[in-house]
Amino acid sequence: MGKKMPYELLWAPWRSSYVAKNNNDKYCIFCNAVNNDEQTNYVIYRSKYSIAMLNRYPYNNGHVMVAPIRHVPSIELLNDEELLDLMKTITLVIKAIRLCYNPHGFNIGSNIGKAAGAGIEHHVHIHIVPRWIGDTNFMPTIAFSKVIPEDLNTTWNKLRKCIENSMT
């Protein structure tokens, strides 16, 4: 058996408020984003029944989460209007990401329930992760680190403009 590579410890004090809030079952990042400042919460789009916001800890630039405005833990609890609006919002976000970043593909999915890996299990949401051929490189493999080259505020501004352009 080969030598096990230890992970590098990264100091990220800005995550402490997120971890503290996430340990509180009454706090929900999606409900908070619906009721508060769009830029602070990285909301890129809001419709009658859905909200789209950047993931603060993205896998890639342009990693967006789309959630119903109504706080429900699973997709089958949504009514037809909410489901249609959710899918239209996902489609609009995909168009905007294509326009802004020209990815080669997407990973789109939802983790429903703690056993499925849901980090926020009480408010269902769909992840949209743009992917490029070769976007996995030596950093995660050798250095156990992921490089995100673009600041979230830059991504927020870009995607909001691209959403506006996608709607015309």
pLDDT band at 136 (very low <50, low <70, confident <90, very high): low
Q: What percent of the chain has pLDDT over 70?
A: 78
pLDDT score of 32: 96
| 3-class DSSP state of 29 | helix
Domain ranges, ordered by start, for the chain: 27-167
pLDDT score of 137: 54
| 3-class DSSP state of 34 | helix
DSSP state of 154: H
Backbone angles phi, psi at 6, to 5 degrees: -75, 150
Distance between CA atoms of 30 and 24, rounded to whole angstroms? Answer: 14
Q: What percent of the chain has pLDDT over 90?
A: 62
pLDDT score of 7: 56
Instruction: Give residue-wise pLDDT tens across range 54-100.
Output: 999 888 899 999 999 999 999 999 999 999 999 999 999 999 999 99
Q: Which CATH number fits domain 27-167: 3.60.15.10, 3.40.50.970, 3.30.428.10, 3.40.50.12780?
A: 3.30.428.10
If you average pLDDT over residues 130-143, what whole number do you get? 66
What are the residue numbers of the active site? 125
If you average pLDDT over residues 2-13, what whole number do you get? 55
For the ranges 13-22, 73-82, 111-120, the maximum mean pLDDT occurs at 73-82
Is pLDDT above 90 for 154? yes
Average pLDDT across the chain, whole number: 85
Rounded to the nearest angstrom, the gap between the alpha carbon of residue 4 and the centroid of all alpha carbons in its chain is 31
pLDDT band at 151 (very low <50, low <70, confident <90, very high): confident
Distance between CA atoms of 70 and 82, rounded to whole angstroms? Answer: 9
Q: Could you tell me which residue, 15 or 68, shows the higher pLDDT?
A: 68
If you average pLDDT over residues 8-29, what whole number do you get? 60
